[in-house]
Chains A and B, each alone.
Chain A
Amino acid sequence: MSTGVESWTGNILDIGPIYPFVGSEVILWVVGMVLWIAWHIWQGRHESIVYAEDEQKFKGEELAKALRGERS
């Protein structure tokens, strides 16, 4: 069982890629792209939720306190 390189001996010129699971690169790229896009979606939703809550909080006297630099 080996995930990649099995020996460093022999003809060095025969050694190409040295990372494990050579041949899985396209799958790795697809996984990476999905994770990247998912991150943006999660972050955008999270940001909207937080801002919606904060907009409810910072009204009237609470906002006036914040503008005066006072604690809630």
Chain B
Amino acid sequence: MDTDIGALTVIFTEMYYWITVVFMFLIHIGFCMYEVSASRHKNHLHTLLKNTMLIPLVTITFFFFGWWIYFALPNGPGITGGLISAPWAEPWSELMGPHMGGKPATDAVTADDTILWSRLNGVFWAAFLLFSWTAASIVSGAVIERVRSSAFWLLAVLVGSVTWVIDAAWGWHPDGWMIQVLGYHDAYASGVIHAIAGGSALAYLYLLGPRIGKFRADGTPRDIRPHNPWLVTIGLFLIYTGFWGFYAACNVPIFDVDVADDRVFYSATNIYLGPTTLSAITVNFLMSLSGGMLAGYVLSKGDGFWTYSGGLAGIIAASAGNDLYHPIQAMIIGGLGTWFMYKIHYFVERRFKIDDAVGAVAVHGYAGCFGVVIAGFVLWGYPASPTYDAVVTPWGQFIGAVIMFWVLGFIPAFILGWICKASGILRIPMAIELAGLDRAEGLDRAALEEDIRTAEQEEARAAGLV
């Protein structure tokens, strides 16, 4: 901070991530609108609060242990090394609080640590936290109208502050063992956010069972339509908007990408510190969105819900390689990923009686896995990072998708859900689910308004006004 250019670089980077955080907040607003619109009137407020309260719970737990996990576990531990010391990310570190970057107060951090992290730790933490909210929020939509809030909030903490952070340390860190060993490449989180959230949602959905009335006696599904298509539209547009911040937050804005010792060349990089540009990811974001929307429209024959969801699935399907794809590749991959998730969604719904209320497992889980695997073919032979020799391969990416969706997604959520189910706290009691969660929890607005109207009429009569 003692030279103009040095200070400008640090403060620009700080501001860059700050802006991404504000953009990403829109993702959560979008998810809330989307979920409420997909729920029935009798369940609105329960649905809204279930999603909203993951914000404080994931935030505090990401502070208490999530951030440390990301820096401590890139080696597994036990795969490419042990636990990594990360004193700036420990929740009791002086660098987790306001800090001017000068002399450390304790020996736990060095002067170099304070110079590097004093202005960047907070905004990096916040950007990752917003990824955490997104991961947990993806699960939230799938399980509406039947999951108990207590059981969901435990899962939100597990996914948002533990499992996704482990997968980020493994596959979304410049030194993650999956990059070193598998050549894993997932620049904009097809797997590390979307596949793991989809796998986690599938586990809870399997244990919860469908909503009452979802399937007919012969096993065919009923279509429980969103009660408000306009809120679905606005919600998904807000998610698209927030996704811009998500993409930008996955980059490092200024970094010396020339690995030769005697030269310097500054560029934006992906999360692995491999070179890319904001222009590249901006064009590819839009082209993959477009490919997904076009495919979603055709597949659903013009259904609004699946057209918008197709756009989201298109972005997610191309995200693993959107730092490097040609825009037309991004468009085609977005379209193919949407076709894949749409077909699998209806197959799983009919075959396994999975009631995914908003298509979250499909849009995030199946499209995310597709995106990870397809990147293995399209980017075959690319260096996974500038630091290690491993290259991108189809098999490395396939193993990566299995780790994301099943190992860190489905299995931990299944274990937690099974414990909740065995304890009788997974699903809303049947009578309450039938009556409606808002009515049962004393949140029926119409009843409250009627009560107030009655009271006003009595007061008016008592005063002789009517």
CB within 8 Å for A13 and B436 given contacts A29-B64, A40-B154: no
Structural contact, B103 and A25, CB atoms closer than 8 A: no
Question: Do A71 and B447 form a contact, CB below 8 Å, given A29-B91, A58-B440?
Answer: yes
Q: Is A1 an interface residue (CB 8 A)?
A: no
A61 close to B (CB within 8 Å): no
A17 touches B105 (CB 8 A): yes
**Shortest distance between the CB of B165 and any CB in chain A (Å):** 16
B98 surroundings in chain A (CB, below 8 A): 17-19
In the complex, A14 has a CB within 8 A of chain B: yes
List the B residue with the shortest CB-CB distance to A22. Answer: B105
Q: Is B381 an interface residue (CB 8 A)?
A: no
- Closest Cβ of chain B: how far from A48's Cβ, in Å? 7
Contact across chains for A47 and B149 when beta carbons are under 8 A apart: yes
- Tell me which residues from 86 to 144 in chain B have a Cβ below 8 Å from any Cβ of chain A: 91-94, 96-106, 114
B415 part of interface (Cβ distance < 8 Å): no
Q: Which of A25-72 contact B (CB under 8 A)?
A: 25-26, 28-29, 32-33, 36, 39-40, 43-44, 47-48, 50-51, 54-55, 57-59, 63, 66-67, 71-72
Q: Is the CB of A18 within 8 A of B100?
A: yes
State whether the Cβ of B61 lies closer than 8 Å to any Cβ in chain A. Answer: yes
Interface residues of B in 46-78 (CB under 8 A from A): 57, 60-61, 63-64
Which residues of A have CB within 8 Å of B64? Answer: 29, 32-33, 36
Contacts of A51 in B (CB 8 A): 148, 428-429, 432, 440
| B435: Cβ under 8 A from any A Cβ | yes
Q: Decide: B431 and A54 in contact? CB cutoff 8 A.
A: yes
Q: Which chain A residues lie closer than 8 Å to B436 at the CB level?
A: 66
CA of A23 to CA of B100 in the docked complex: distance in angstroms?
16
Task: Tell whether B459 is near chain A: CB-to-CB under 8 Å.
Answer: no
Beta-carbon contact of A25 and B92 below 8 Å: yes
B457 at the interface (CB under 8 A from A): no
**B92 with A55: CB separation less than 8 A:** no
Is B261 engaged at the interface, CB distance under 8 Å to the other chain? Answer: no
Q: Is B439 an interface residue (CB 8 A)?
A: yes
Contact A13 B103 (CB under 8 A): yes
- B92 near A16 with CB under 8 A, answer no
- Kindly identify which residue among B101, B102, B440, B447 contacts A54, using a CB–CB cutoff of 8 Å: B440
Distance in Å: Cβ of B258 to nearest Cβ of chain A: 30
Instruction: Tell me which residues from 5 to 19 in chain A have a Cβ below 8 Å from any Cβ of chain B.
Output: 11-19
Is the C-beta of B150 less than 8 angstroms from some C-beta in chain A?
yes
A19 CA to B99 CA in the complex, in Å? 8
The residues of B that contact A63 with a CB separation of less than 8 Å are 431, 434-435
Task: Choose among B63, B106, B439, B450 the residue that contacts A66 (Cβ–Cβ < 8 A).
Answer: B439
Cα distance, A12 to B118, chains bound together (Å): 14
Contact with A along B424-464 (1 / 0, CB 8 A): 01001101101110011110001100100000000000000
| CB closest chain-B residue, reference A11 | B102
In the bound complex, residues from chain A placing their C-beta under 8 Å from that of B441 are 50, 54
Q: Considering only CB atoms, which chain A residue lies closest to B447 in the complex?
A: A71
Known contacts A29-B64, A40-B154; is A15 also within 8 Å of B102 by CB?
yes
A71 CA / B446 CA spacing, docked (Å): 9
Select which of A23, A25, A47 is within 8 A of B150 by beta carbon: A47
Whether A25 pairs with B102 at a CB distance below 8 angstroms is no
Contact of B114 among A16, A48, A50, A72 (CB under 8 A): A16
Which residues of chain A are within 8 angstroms of B184 by Cβ–Cβ distance?
none
User: Bound state CA distance, A55 and B93, in angstroms?
Assistant: 48
- In the complex, are the beta carbons of A17 and B97 less than 8 A apart? yes
With A and B bound together, what is the CA distance between A36 and B66 in angstroms? 14
Judged by a CB distance under 8 angstroms, whether B31 is at the interface is: no
Compute how far the CA of A72 lies from the CA of B451 in the bound complex, rounded to whole angstroms: 12
Contacts of B339 in A (CB 8 A): none
Q: Which residue of A lies closest to B450 (CB)?
A: A71
Residues of B364-418 at the interface with A, using a CB-CB cut-off of 8 Å, are none
Q: Provide the bound-state CA to CA distance between A24 and B220, in Å.
A: 60
Confirm or deny: B153 has a beta carbon within 8 angstroms of a beta carbon on chain A: yes
Given contacts A17-B105, A18-B97, A63-B431, 17 further A-B contacts (CB under 8 A): A14-B103, A15-B100, A16-B94, A16-B104, A18-B98, A18-B99, A25-B91, A25-B92, A29-B64, A44-B150, A44-B425, A50-B441, A51-B429, A51-B432, A58-B431, A58-B435, A66-B439
10 example contacts (A-B, Cβ-Cβ < 8 A) are as follows A14-B102, A17-B99, A17-B105, A36-B64, A40-B153, A47-B149, A50-B440, A54-B429, A58-B432, A63-B434
Q: Which 10 A-B pairs have the closest CB atoms?
A: A25-B92, A66-B435, A15-B100, A54-B440, A58-B431, A17-B94, A44-B150, A15-B102, A19-B97, A58-B435
